Amino acid sequence: MRLVLLASTAIAMGLTGCVSDIQPANAPAQTPKIANPMTAPIQSSNPLLVDWTTPEGAPPYDLIRPEHYEPAFDAALAAARDDYRRISDNASAPTFANTIEAMEMSGRLLDRISATFFNVSSADATPAIQSIEENVAPKLARLSNEIYLDQNLFGRVDQLYKMRETLGLTPEQHRLLSETHKRFVRAGAALNPDARARVAAINEELANLGVTFGQNLLADQKASAVYLSAEEVAGLPDDQRTAAAAGARSAGRDAEYLIPATRSAVEPFLTSAPNRAAREKVWRAFVMRGDNANANDNNATIARMVTLRAERAKLMGATSHAAFQLEDAMAKTPAAADALLMTVITPALLRANEELEDLTAIARQDEISKVEPWDWRYYAEKVRKERFALDEAALKQYFPLDGMVDALFETTNKLYGVTMHERQDIPVYAEGVRVWEVREADGTKIGLFYADWFSRATKSPGAWMNSLRDQSSLRGEMPIVVNNQNLPPAAPGQRVVISIDEAETLFHEFGHALHGLLSKVRYPSLSGTAVPRDFVEFPAQVYEHWVTEPEILRKHARNSKGEPIPEAMLQSLLKAQTFNQGYLTVQQLSSAILDMRLHQMDAVPAGFDVRRWEAEQLKSLGVPEEVGMRHRLAHFSHIFDGGYSAGYYAYTWAEVMDADGFDAFKEAGDIFDPSLARKLRREVLERGNTRDPAESYAAFRGRMPTADALLRNRGLN
Domains of the chain, earliest start first: 224-287 (no CATH), 299-390+579-640 (1.10.1370.10), 401-552 (1.10.1370.40)
Distance CA 653, CA 648 (A): 9
pLDDT over threshold 50, residue 237: yes
Give DSSP secondary structure letters for 134-159.
HHHHHHHHHHHHHHHT-HHHHHHHHH
Cα atoms found within 13 Å of the Cα of residue 206, Cβ hemisphere only: 26
Q: Which of 394, 388, 7, 20 is nearest to 170 (CA)?
A: 20
Distance CA 491, CA 449 (A): 26
Quick: pLDDT tens for 194-214: 999 999 999 999 999 999 999
Q: Which of 699, 717, 615, 697 is nearest to 657 (CA)?
A: 697
Please check whether residue 507 is in contact with residue 531, taking contact to mean a CB–CB distance below 8 angstroms: no
Mean pLDDT computed over every residue of the chain: 93
Instruction: Answer positive or negative: Cα dihedral of 210, 212, 218, 224.
Output: negative
**H helix intervals, 500-549:** 500-517, 533-544
Cβ-based burial of 548 (10 A; exposed 0-12, middle 13-18, buried ≥19) = middle
Give DSSP secondary structure letters for 174-233.
HHHHHHHHHHHHHHTTTS-HHHHHHHHHHHHHHHHHHHHHHHHHHHHHHHT-EEE-TTTT
pLDDT, greater one: 694 or 14: 694
Give, as one character, the DSSP assignment of residue 378.
H
pLDDT of residue 642: 87
Confidence label for 9 from pLDDT (cuts 50, 70 and 90): very low
Q: How far is CA 594 from CA 22, 209, 290, 600, 632, in A?
A: 45, 20, 17, 10, 9
pLDDT of residue 35: 36
Distance CA 149, CA 379 (A): 56
Catalytic residues: 509
Please check whether residue 714 is in contact with residue 581, taking contact to mean a CB–CB distance below 8 angstroms: yes
Distance, C-alpha 242 to centroid of its chain: 30
Distance CA 527, CA 416 (A): 19
pLDDT of residue 372: 98
Distance, C-alpha 684 to centroid of its chain: 18
pLDDT of residue 489: 87
Run of H or E residues at 446: strand 445-454
Distance CA 664, CA 676 (A): 8
Distance, C-alpha 544 to centroid of its chain: 15
Confidence label for 604 from pLDDT (cuts 50, 70 and 90): confident
Distance CA 675, CA 399 (A): 30
The pLDDT of 307-327, averaged and rounded, is 97
Distance CA 80, CA 87 (A): 11
Instruction: Answer positive or negative: Cα dihedral of 330, 344, 362, 386.
Output: negative
Quick: pLDDT tens for 494-545: 899 999 999 999 999 999 999 999 999 999 999 999 999 999 999 999 999 9
Confidence label for 2 from pLDDT (cuts 50, 70 and 90): low
pLDDT over threshold 70, residue 40: no
Cβ-proximal residues to 468 (8 Å cutoff; 6+ apart), any chain:
14, 58, 59, 115, 116, 119, 448, 450, 480, 481, 482
> In degrees rounded to 5, what are phi and psi of residue 191?
-80, 170
Confidence label for 1 from pLDDT (cuts 50, 70 and 90): low
Task: Determine what percent of the chain is predicted with pLDDT higher than 70.
Answer: 94
Q: How far is CA 41 from CA 38, 105, 139, 385, in A?
A: 8, 17, 19, 63
Q: Is 108 in a helix, a strand, or coil?
A: helix
Quick: pLDDT tens for 164-183: 999 999 999 999 999 999 99
Task: List strands edge to edge, sheet with 419-423.
Answer: 419-423, 434-439, 445-454, 480-487, 464-469
* One-letter amino acid of 458: T
Distance CA 579, CA 573 (A): 10
Cβ-based burial of 568 (10 A; exposed 0-12, middle 13-18, buried ≥19) = exposed
Measured at the CA of 244, the angle between CA 238 and CA 246, to 5 degrees, comes to 100
Q: Which of 377, 402, 414 is nearest to 392 (CA)?
A: 377
Q: Which of 207, 202, 237, 230 is nearest to 314 (CA)?
A: 202
Give me the count of residues in the chain: 717
pLDDT over threshold 50, residue 678: yes
pLDDT over threshold 50, residue 39: no
Please check whether residue 566 is in contact with residue 391, taking contact to mean a CB–CB distance below 8 angstroms: no
Please check whether residue 371 is in contact with residue 379, taking contact to mean a CB–CB distance below 8 angstroms: yes
Confidence label for 33 from pLDDT (cuts 50, 70 and 90): very low
Quick: pLDDT tens for 555-564: 999 999 999 9
pLDDT, greater one: 713 or 8: 713
Distance CA 713, CA 655 (A): 9
Q: Is 364 in a helix, a strand, or coil?
A: helix
Please check whether residue 545 is in contact with residue 703, taking contact to mean a CB–CB distance below 8 angstroms: no
